[in-house]
Each structure stands twice: as structure tokens, then as C-alpha cells.
Amino acid sequence: MRRSASLLQVLLVFTTMVKTQWSTVSGIYCKEMSPNVYRPHSVTITEFGAIGDGVTLNTKAFRNAIFYLNSFADKGGAQLFVPAGKWLTGSFGLISHLTLSLDKDAVIIGSPDSSDWPVVDPLPSYGRGRELPGKRHQSLIFGSYLTDVIITGANGTIDGQGAIWWGWFHNHTLNYTRPHLVELMYSTNVVISNLTFKNSPFWNIHPVYCSQVLVQHVTILAPLNSPNTDGIDPDSSTNVCINHCYVKNGDDVIAIKSGWDEYGISFAHPSSNISISNITGETRGGAGIAFGSEMSGGISEVRAEGLRVVNSLQGIRIKTAPGRGGYVKNVYIADVSMYNVSIAIRISGNFGEHPDDKYDRNALPMISNITIKDVVGVNVGVAGILEGIHGDNFSNICLSNVSLSVQSAHPWNCSLIEGYSNSVIPESCEQLRSNCRQTSDCYDGSSSSATHGQEPRDTLSTSQLLNPLMKFTLF
């Protein structure tokens, strides 16, 4: 126990070092974006009759305020300020060139009455996330075809009061999809920062068909047994940066998606150019970082660094299935620390259900050029379960500089995969023991191409820091 505690302390120290080491390369897609944009016009929600007592319903006040501020969209933009108080509301939409700013003691509370979350028709594409091609509840805060939208504050809170929705879900009494806390569609230049999100009925932050999205300094909280409370889910979106976030929830901390089966294939809206850094997460039912399972439009050019996953089901996860089509390729994950994680790395080729019976069973996904390096884990149940699909081997899966203190006598379970491994403890499965110089292209995180036969870079890595300590727990 003392040795494990010492190792955990080292993990905490390393997390701080990673933030410094990778600060120069994270956020490359969104470096010009900021929550601190001057708005020449500003109003406070109380000017529209809102009462912050946690009881009065303020939906009309929020909608009227947004309607009023729309007249300033072409005059430099506007800000809606939410002061200290508890502001109960149903769904309300945003506009372009708007900042929604919360005081540090402000709490926007989602109404527990489902009638305050309108039911709307689906998008024509049906390509989005895990939503069925049918009607759905509108998200608490939403917007479509917007530009220059900022949701920020001094760490104010947005609380979805999800418990009632989770109960309906478990009781099978919901006719429509549960709402998200924040969902923006077909929008550009979106910033979400310096806020706490709590108890979302479904996913918390869902940018879909968006570009130039920055999510930073965000805390997301939900009970560990809450269903589908994903933290941040960029979906069919490009040029996305997620950094310096803490998530404790019931499902994936971050999940990258791009559409579901035939709907995602036909709409063909990929997720690409995604930068993730300095994330700490805890989840009982999901992974620290996940890809899919809705990935039919394709996912590529993802770089994730400085991840800390504790007390969780899985660390790194790729989920797909026959019928998905699409691809997950050119993924680079580095500098990851895990503590008390059941499965460190999991790739599943037969995961999840289908939206209907119209999917093409011959639409096989392509999983290729996945690099995972500089990983350390303490108190890990299983090192990896890596399973491809018959007739569709997952290729160029590269593991490098991975040190895991594993409890299982059978640390790796691999089938229908191909790739390379170097400096992996415990020794990786046979399918990944090929000679990199002859048979494998290991993606190096650049957007141009995989590098053939590249040796691991000479950097200060997690296992270099912890390998001397790992000997005490491995033997």
C-alpha cells in the first residue's frame, strides 16, 4: 500500500510536468481563439424580469434577452450577463456574436419539467451521434448556423438536474432522446470556458458539424452511475481544441464521434484536426478518451497528450462494429498516466447496437495508424483487450514506452490486429511484436503522414520517470 501511494504521488507530480512539456504544441488549431472578446453591448438577465431564487421559471426572460441582443449582432456583438443566483430555465437558443457570461456564484438550472425542453424534429442527415432518426428533446443551451459564440464565466455553473431524466431512462418511459446541456450545430468560432457543468441528462458538451471549437478550463460533474453523461463529445467537427479540463462522470470523459451507420456514411462529415491536452478524468462506465462507436463519417488527425485517468473502467478506447463503415486513423496519444483502471487500452470491433436494420453489414470500418506511447499505469486490471473484425484486421497499432502494473495473469488479449510494440511492460501480445522497420508504419502525430519505421523520440516520458519505481510492484 505504501509503494502504491508513493507511485500515485509521482503521478500527481508528473501531471504538472506534462502540462509544461506539451503547452507549446497543444491548441494548434485554436490558438487565435479566446473567451475574452470585447462586446460593446451588454445586458443583465434581471433586466428582462428574471428572478434568481431557484424556483421562478425564467425561460421567457432568457429568450427575450437573446431576441433583444440579436439586434446588436452586426454592431460588434453583445453580452448577456448572469449574476449570482439560481436561475431556473427551460431550453433557450443562442445567436452569433454573443457572449453568455456567468458570475462565479451564478447557477443556470435546467427545469425538471420535460415540457420546458421542447421536442423538435431531427436534422435531415440523421448523422449525429447516438440519436435515432426521430424526434428529440432540445438541449438546454443550443444554437445552429452561428459564428463567434462564447459561453464562459468566472466558474459559474450550469446544472441540468439530470436525475429525473436518468430515472425515466432506466424505467423506459422516455419517447424521445434525452437532451444535452450544450449543443451547437453547424457553427464556427465557438469557445466554452471557465464553467462547471453538472448533472446533464445526456452528453454535456456536444459540438456537431462545427469548426474552430475551443473548450478549456471546464469542470464536468455527474454521479459515476449516471447513464450516458459523456463529458465533451466533438461530433463530425473539425479544428477542435480541448484542454485543461476535469471530468468526473458516468461515461466517456471525451468521446470523438462522426455519425451512426448508414446515416453517418451517407452524410460523410468527418471529425478531424482535434487537439486534446491536460485532461484529468474519472468514469465508472466509460473511458478517459474514446473514439466512436458512432464513427461512420470518419475520424482522423487526433493528437491527445497529458491525460490522467483515475478510478475508471478504461483508459483509452476505440469502439466500432461491422456496419459502421468509416475509419479511425492517424491518432496519436502520448503521456498518459492511469491509476486504478480496469482496462488500460481497449479496441473493440464488435461494439454497440445499430439505429435500425437498414445498415450495410458489409460496411466494415478501417482502424489504422494508431500510436499510443509514453503510458504509465498503477493498479491496472488488464493491460489491453484489442479485437479487430474477421476479414478486417485493424492495422498499424503501435505501442511504445508503456509501463503498466497489472493485476491479471493474462495482461493482453489480442485478435485480428497488426502492428508494433517497443518497450512495453508487461510484454505485449504476439500480434504487436513485429519488426517496425520492416512491417509497420507508426503514426508520429503529424498531419502529413505516418513515419515508416520511426524509433521513439528521445523525450522525457512517463515510463522514464517511473520505471525504477515500477520494479517494486511488478515483481
Computed over every residue of the chain, the mean pLDDT equals 88
The position carrying cell 475509419 is 327
The position carrying cell 462564447 is 150
* Distance set, CA 466 to CA 13, 287, 425, 458 (Å): 11, 23, 12, 16
- Cα 300 from Cα 269, distance rounded (Å): 12
Q: Span 204-228, mean pLDDT?
A: 97
- Cα 91 from Cα 116, distance rounded (Å): 6
Nearest alpha-carbon partner for 383 in 471, 462, 465, 474: 474
- Cα 67 from Cα 49, distance rounded (Å): 14
Q: β-strands 271-283, 211-221: how paired?
A: unpaired
- Look at residue 9 and tell me whether its pLDDT is greater than 90: no
Nearest alpha-carbon partner for 402 in 450, 449, 333: 333
Q: Span 110-128, mean pLDDT?
A: 81
What angle in degrees, to the nearest 10, is found between the helix axes of 2-22 and 462-474?
170
> What is the per-residue pLDDT across 358-412, written as a single tens digit (0 to 9) for each?
999 999 999 999 999 999 999 999 999 999 999 999 999 999 999 999 999 999 9
- Cα 143 from Cα 379, distance rounded (Å): 43
What DSSP string describes 19-49? HHHHTTTTTTTSTT--S----SEEEEGGGGT
The set of residues, in sequence order, having a beta carbon less than 8 Å from that of 175 and lying 6+ positions away, is 135
pLDDT score for 69: 98
pLDDT score for 451: 38
- Cα 105 from Cα 63, distance rounded (Å): 22
- Look at residue 10 and tell me whether its pLDDT is greater than 90: no
Of 12-21, 88-97, 211-220, 301-310, the poorest mean pLDDT is in 12-21
Q: Amino acid letter at 343?
A: I
Q: Span 266-291, mean pLDDT?
A: 96
The set of residues, in sequence order, having a beta carbon less than 8 Å from that of 393 and lying 6+ positions away, is 416, 417, 418
**Cα Rg of the chain, angstroms:** 22
Read off the C-alpha cell for 443: 503514426
How many residues make up the chain in this entry?
475
- Cα 377 from Cα 7, distance rounded (Å): 9
Q: Is 251 a catalytic residue?
A: yes
- Look at residue 337 and tell me whether its pLDDT is greater than 90: yes
- Cα 409 from Cα 320, distance rounded (Å): 27
The SS3 assignment for 51 reads coil
Give domain limits for the chain: 1-23+252-475, 33-196+206-214
pLDDT score for 30: 80
- Cα 351 from Cα 199, distance rounded (Å): 26
Read off the C-alpha cell for 52: 434568481
- Taking the CB of residue 430, how many other CB atoms lie within 10 A of it? 10
Kindly tell me the burial class for residue 300, based on how many C-beta atoms sit within 10 Å of its own C-beta (0-12, 13-18, 19 or more).
Answer: buried
pLDDT score for 66: 98
Nearest alpha-carbon partner for 319 in 356, 281, 352, 283: 352
**What percent of the chain is modeled with pLDDT above 70?**
84
Domain 33-196+206-214: which CATH number of 3.90.320.10, 3.30.70.360, 3.40.640.10, 2.160.20.10: 2.160.20.10
Which among 251, 335, 374, 441 is annotated as catalytic? Answer: 251
The SS3 assignment for 313 reads strand
- Cα 470 from Cα 378, distance rounded (Å): 8
Q: What is the pTM of this model?
A: 0.89
Largest CA distance in the chain: 70
Residue 150, H or E segment = strand 147-153
The position carrying cell 485554436 is 30
The position carrying cell 443562442 is 94
Q: Amino acid letter at 34?
A: S
> What is the per-residue pLDDT across 226-254, written as a single tens digit (0 to 9) for each?
999 999 999 999 999 999 999 999 999 99
Read off the C-alpha cell for 459: 523525450
Cα four-point dihedral sign 84, 90, 91, 97: negative
